[in-house]
Structure 1
Amino acid sequence: MAVLRAIAEEAGELGATRALTRLGLADEGAAGDVAELRELLKAWRTAKSSAWRASVAWVVRMVWALLLVGLAVKLGFGEWVR
């Protein structure tokens, strides 16, 4: 049983090493690269979320402005301004 476990562990390490080498993550700077990629992905998600919130806020403002203009026209404030 110990021999099978050792063979499986060795095969797993060899496979992981090959996969990391193919991805270009087998050197000493790989941990820093992965951390930088995670930071970049987090920044992208934050920017995307912020852009959606800003877009929704602008749409809501436009709806309110159109509602107020419509209400002003309906109540006759257009004539009052002239």
Structure 2
Amino acid sequence: MKQFTTGDLNIQIGDITDAASREPVMLTRHKKPRFVLMSYEHYERIRAGGDPRRAYHISEMPGEHAALFDEALDQLARGEGYDNEP
């Protein structure tokens, strides 16, 4: 997440809102996180629960995710994966 100060917001409003249209940005005040600026569409997805990203503890991971995870680990163990991707 990109980070700007509230002072930056006064000076670089166009640059910051452009960045916020692509991903949420953090606004800090006195070096502490204070606000998050994001597009309205992103806000609506979060509010509606439409953001499909979710973190699971390994013991709570759905079966289909566990299978994909195991397959990826097996590929890495065989030396396949990241380095072999185009």
Q: Compute the TM-score of the two structures, normalised by the length of structure 1.
A: 0.27
Structure showing greater radius of gyration is 1
* Higher relative contact order structure (alpha carbons within 8 Å, sequence separation ≥ 6): 2
* Structure (1 or 2) with the greater strand fraction: 2
Q: Compute the TM-score of the two structures, normalised by the length of structure 2.
A: 0.25
* Structure (1 or 2) with the greater helix fraction: 1
